[in-house]
Structure 1
Amino acid sequence: MVLGSFQRYFSMRHQNSKIQGLYDHCKNTFSPSGIPSPSSQPLHKLSLILDTIRPADVGLKKEAADDDRGLGFFGVNQQNRIARWAKPITYIDIHESDSFTMCIFCFPTSSVIPLHDHPGMTVFSKLLYGSLHVKAYDWVEPPCIVESKGPGHPQVRLAKLAVDKVLNAPCEPSVLYPKHGGNLHCFTAVRPCAMLDILAPPYKEYEGRKCTYYHDYPYSTFSAGNGPVCVGEEDEYAWLAETEPSDLYMNSGVYAGPPIKP
């Protein structure tokens, strides 16, 4: 009995040290006024700490079986997206302050977070389990914009593809920055998966950090006379238009990991 109690105590101490250590480092690194430069030692250390986090450290159990309500990643009718996303994504809030947000997104198979941005924000992500397809863009600078020509013709802005790949856990954390690394991205679950995110600073609309959703159009859709694109690289570019996410399904979950001491 004594040995069993000691083992449980040691296990909880170990779990606490991981998530508490991640929180403490974020608290010491980020402030409401900004974050260190991308090349700074604190951000490098944050990635190293994040890389050690496993599902059990945040109270999650790795999914053992696929979700039978998903219809798969590729063989689906794109016109029937709502039907295939019958089970919503679960959002779990771990911590939120003026400096940073720590949260988890749990995806059932085929669920999607549509293309969206993180204006003025740096985001660290760790895939805890499963497989996730990531497609991400960065804006082309200086801005290249095609103005609206009337109702039904949205204004579009040129972006360059930064990431288009499937992540399979375990894998290294990823980082996106305000102007590079794929600040505008879309997630699609290939298999049930969970992503731990750190957003610094957090979304705050009145400070200009509002989440905007986009639809991406092939470069050829608006390419006539527009865009500094070299011949043969058209697939690396797309035109993005603001849109409303009519097919985003998300509910709130409860954080079940070790408590964090502020």
Structure 2
Amino acid sequence: MRVEAALAEQGPVAAGGLVPESPLQAPRKGRGRQKKVGSTAPSAVQRLLEACKEVFADGGAGIVPSPDNVEWLRSVLGNIGASDVGLTQNASYFQQDESTGSLPITYLHIYECDKFSYLLQIGIFCLPPSGVIPLHNHPGMTVFSKILFGSMHIKSYDWINVPHNTDKSSNFVHSTPPPGLRLAKVKTDAIFNESSTTSVLYPEEGGNMHCFTARTSCAVLDVLGPPYSIAEEGRDCTYYRDYPYDSCYGDINTMPNGNGAYAWLEEKEEPNDFVVVGAKYNGPKILEQ
């Protein structure tokens, strides 16, 4: 993913993820740091960072936090709003450029760490109306996302395996699909807004491949564990084009769960018209403790 005019102190930008999940639950983690008597209450983003450090303390590619930790971090994110990160809908990121008639997607880099026992990245994607983050994946990652304001359409997929031979338990066609195509199942195809529950996607499920289309100006707070990594681990972002199940391969009559539930995905190069611009995060400062 290209980042134009990125700040020198920013880390790599990674596309975020959102899929519907179960309702929030109260935190169950017991290792959180206790506030010192007489000290100033930490900001919401400071509390988020400390929670992330606990949740991803033993993190890494493909490592999923425990269910208790997932629910704890979801609850922390669920209590964060736009004002907690110093963001308003009249910010320049959401104002139409009269000279070009368009506006790029902006990424506000809050925090990243890949040098200690935990690996994580925290940031905000700011999308103008009709802004699109194309269909992409999150290899080996667990991603938490919270819409701070606005609404967006999200379509997401999970991979499924196609049987090579027919049997009584399979409703799929039995031949091998054409090279370059892989079958995926639609996880979600819906509109989300700031009232939607903080969502989670996982390395192998939860809508790991997804596309965002902003219906209004909107902002999404993302936590990725671990972040994308190109040099060390080859964990780069892959982009896809999707085809309806019966449009290029397969018989609609053999597809379980009705039309529209499955699609073929094909890898493609990063779209030339997809540009993410880095900008300075101006919200409450985060302190290392």
Q: Do Structure 1 and Structure 2 share a fold, with TM-score over 0.5?
A: yes
TM-score of the superposition, structure 2-length normalised? Answer: 0.72
Q: Secondary structure at the match of 2:44?
A: helix
CA distance in 1, matches of 2:216, 2:237: 26
2:106 maps to which of 74, 90, 93: 90
CA distance in 2, matches of 1:248, 1:20: 31
- The residue that corresponds to 1:24 in the other structure is 50
Q: Does 1:220 align with 2:246?
A: yes
CA distance in 2, matches of 1:62, 1:108: 10
User: Structure 1 residues 128, 103: CA separation in 2 closer, same or farther (over 3 Å shift)?
Assistant: same
Question: CA shift at 1:246, angstroms?
Answer: 2.1
Amino acid at match of 2:283: G
Question: CA shift at 1:40, angstroms?
Answer: 2.1
Q: Which residues of 2 match residues 68-217 of structure 1 at below 5 A?
A: 86-98=102-114, 99-141=119-161, 146-148=177-179, 155-205=180-230, 206-217=232-243
User: Structure 1 residues 129, 186: CA separation in 2 closer, same or farther (over 3 Å shift)?
Assistant: same
Question: CA shift at 1:223, angstroms?
Answer: 2.4
What is the aligned length? Answer: 229
User: Structure 1 residues 143, 44: CA separation in 2 closer, same or farther (over 3 Å shift)?
Assistant: farther
User: Structure 1 residues 162, 227: CA separation in 2 closer, same or farther (over 3 Å shift)?
Assistant: farther
CA distance in 1, matches of 2:264, 2:82: 37
CA distance in 1, matches of 2:260, 2:247: 12
* CA RMSD, 1 decimal: 2.7
Identity %: 44
- The residue that corresponds to 1:250 in the other structure is 276
Question: CA shift at 1:94, angstroms?
Answer: 0.5
CA distance in 1, matches of 2:144, 2:265: 23
TM-score of the superposition, structure 1-length normalised? Answer: 0.79
- Structure having greater relative contact order (Cα 8 Å, sep ≥ 6): 2
Question: CA shift at 1:116, angstroms?
Answer: 0.1
- The residue that corresponds to 1:47 in the other structure is 74
Residues 214-254 of structure 1 deviation map (CA, whole Å, 9 limit, x = unaligned): 00011112324799732x62310110011122221211111
- Runs (5+) with no aligned partner, structure 1: 1-12, 71-82, 149-154
- Runs (5+) with no aligned partner, structure 2: 1-39, 165-175
| Larger relative helix fraction | 1
